[in-house]
A and B are shown apart, each in its own frame.
Chain A
Amino acid sequence: MRHLLRRLLFYAVALWVAITVNFFIPRLAPGDPASAFIGKILRAGGRVDPGQLAAIRQMLGVDTTDPLWVQYFKYLGELLHGRFGVSVTYFPASVTEIIGSGIMWTIGLGLVSVIIGCVVGWAIGILLAWKRGSVLDTLLAPGMTFLYGIPYFWLALLLLYIFGATLHWFPLNQGYDVINTIPGWNADFILSVIQHGILPAGTIVIASLAGWMLLMRNTMIATLSEDYVLMAEAKGLRQGRVLFAYAARNALLPNLTNFAIALGFIVAGQLLTEYVFSYPGIGFYLLQGVASLDYALVQSIFLIITVAVLGANFLAEMLYTVLDPRVRQEGTA
């Protein structure tokens, strides 16, 4: 229990640091980004909700004579009320609307990619550990290493070029067919989503395969040399049972932590995927915002991403605590 509270406190501190960094960056940056941004909003015309405008003023620190700490607390207040301001790129949509629409796409794509990636990667890792020293292992392990070093966006571009532009197997961009299908629970839309999602998910799976595989392979090699595995084999148990019920089960722990952390990085790391494929997730909106210096959008998305990553990390630790009693003992010792 105490261990849990300590970790909760840590994540609260990490969140506070992220919020404070968000608060200080526009005030520390050279030039005067804040006024430029407010100017853009006011010039864009249309009706802006005064509450949102006030929120932006607090976030960026414009037109205010309050001392810094008062600004800070007003900013925290705006955050708690969920007022992140309006976006200049997608004026007059509020930032909350944009994040809301984007986050489903990011999580959907990310979840599918991570699950497929880890299942395939773990299977290969277990196979390689079992057949360590064989031709497959000697070829595949360094081969995977090379795959790991390939810049992800370059790999994504190559695959997009081969399968999208040259072979025309998959569409080139977007999350679904914006021209022909209508979003909703109809077969056309769902099929279109799947078709548009195969290439982005595929590139993520290929790029992350080496990571999943290598960790599983190394932990399995360590587990397979343990005494209890030798005992299980000596008892005459089936090879498959030894491999999965004895070895993989114990090798799973660090790999599950990896999995939970990867879930958190779905939101953070898919930036490049969404950029290359123009996939309408929040990473895509973040980069659009940076290109047009849309500070309200950029800062709010960064905050959401950080919250997601922290949340996933916290869940990973809870999972680890539940699965590994030694951690609980250490905490209370």
Chain B
Amino acid sequence: MEKNRSSERFASPSPHDNQGERPSLLSGPMGMSAGDSLAVVAALPRRKPIYAAFAEGLRRFWKLATINRKVALGSAIIAFFILVAIFGPMFPLQDPNAISHLSNRGPSAAHWLGTSTSGQDLFSQLVYGTRSSIFWSFFTGLLVTAVSAFVGLIAGYAGGVLSEVLSMLINVFLVVPALPLAVVLAAYFPRGPLTIAVVITVTSWAYGARLLRSQTLSMRSREFVTAARASGESTWRIIFYEILPNEASIVATIFITTTIAVVLFWASLQFLGLADVSDVNWGSMLYWAQQADGLFQGFWWWFVPPGLCIAILAAGLSLINFGIDEISDPRLGSAVAAKRVRRVKRGTLSGGQVSGAAAPGGARGVPDTFLF
């Protein structure tokens, strides 16, 4: 059911609506005296104290994160990287920028992942670099999602010329090739993380915007929107307070998909040397490894770990995406999920009737959901 905030205005005042707030509506014309209102206030359910609400939120978040094996694994990976990003540099590590005379050494007790050409410790570079990589990837992912949501919702809700123009704009940006445009923009503007963030946003916002536009188009003819409009809500409120909460799950999926693309895009731009190469992060480690011909000299300890970190981060996000996909469409899932679906469906029909039909379907390998 969609959340219908506008209905609050029409509901007749009753003690159960006002969770702990002063029921001023009940006094005066409604004919209740001060003494009566006090009694009502005392009987109202109290709002939960902060720590209980926080614990409840945590519990819900945990349930969401472990709802599925894939989602659980993906969330664990992301959580690990975020923890390293926040707490990693607090550990007693060497200065990632400190040069030394130990050039291009392999992994050893002193340098867990070896050293770069200028003798910098690669393990501490990896840990310190996590902070920059994670922060900028997620920040840019959020930025892109925000822009997509903003343009997509307006394009979907507004009618007429504005909708057509925005739709044209979205399609144009979808079709213009992203990496070449990013390369050209990065060539002209000053190098730095903010430039790259803006460049990636400019080239990647259209995908989410198109999805949200089509979703909003279907939403705007629903009754709750008509009700909101009839009750005189301003257009902005309708778009961002009524329609947007109902599209929250799509926005979340867009955020995850976009962030995967952003992580890889960012790494590519850093590898090409278009970002600030003096910044310590996974992509720039790969850039410097390439500049020093690390590949051909066999310095695998330089370019394997950062690339592996990027791959694992992207894999974690993809796992979450796949897990969510599986929940919404069990046919796409693994054998375990399919079995679960079959078991549930079998439970709703009489046992003997169904088991005969299930066996041949499973044996032939054809999905048997349509047999029921």
Contacts and interface: CB of A to CB of B under 8 A. Distances in A.
A267 B184 CA distance: 15
Contacts of A161: 295-296, 298, 300
A313 B172 CA distance: 11
Nearest to B273: A291
A224 B366 contact: yes
A18 B176 contact: yes
B366 A149 contact: no
B177 A230 contact: no
A313 B307 contact: no
Interface string A276-305: 000000010011001101010011011001
Interface string A145-178: 1101111111001101100011000001000000
B172 A13 contact: yes
B198 interface: no
A290 B179 contact: no
Nearest to A148: B318
A54 interface: no
B366 A268 contact: no
B180 A305 contact: yes
B334 A149 contact: no
A306 B180 contact: yes
A13 B168 contact: yes
Interface residues of A, number: 71
Interface string A112-144: 000000000000000000111110011001100
B181 interface: yes
B210 to A, nearest CB: 14
A25 B268 contact: no
Interface residues of B, number: 60
Interface stretch (A26-34, A76-84, A189-197, A198-206): A26-34
B177 A305 contact: yes
Contact of B365 (A132, A218, A301): A132
Given A149-B318, A150-B314, A287-B183, A265 B264 contact: no
Nearest to B282: A151
6 contacts: A29-B188, A149-B314, A150-B307, A153-B286, A157-B307, A302-B180
A227 B172 CA distance: 38
A41 interface: no
Contacts of A291: 273
Given A10-B171, A295-B188, 11 more contacts: A10-B168, A17-B172, A28-B188, A133-B335, A145-B319, A151-B310, A224-B367, A268-B179, A269-B179, A290-B186, A313-B175
Question: 3 closest A-B pairs (Cβ-Cβ)?
Answer: A149-B314, A268-B177, A154-B307
Interface in B280-320: 286, 290, 295-296, 298, 300, 303-304, 307, 310-315, 317-319
B271 interface: yes
A-side interface mostly: helix
Contacts of A306: 176-177, 180
B183 A225 contact: no
B185 A25 contact: yes
B24 to A, nearest CB: 55
Contact of A165 (B172, B295, B319): B295
Contacts of A4: none
A58 B176 CA distance: 23
B311 A146 contact: yes
Contact of A272 (B178, B268, B273): B268
Contacts of A13: 168, 172
Contact of B177 (A148, A287, A309): A309
A14 interface: yes
Contacts of A290: 183-184, 186-187, 274
B190 interface: yes
A26 B364 CA distance: 62
B176 A14 contact: yes
Contacts of B271: 151, 153, 272
Contacts of A301: 180
A233 interface: yes
A130 B365 contact: yes
B175 A14 contact: yes
A114 to B, nearest CB: 15
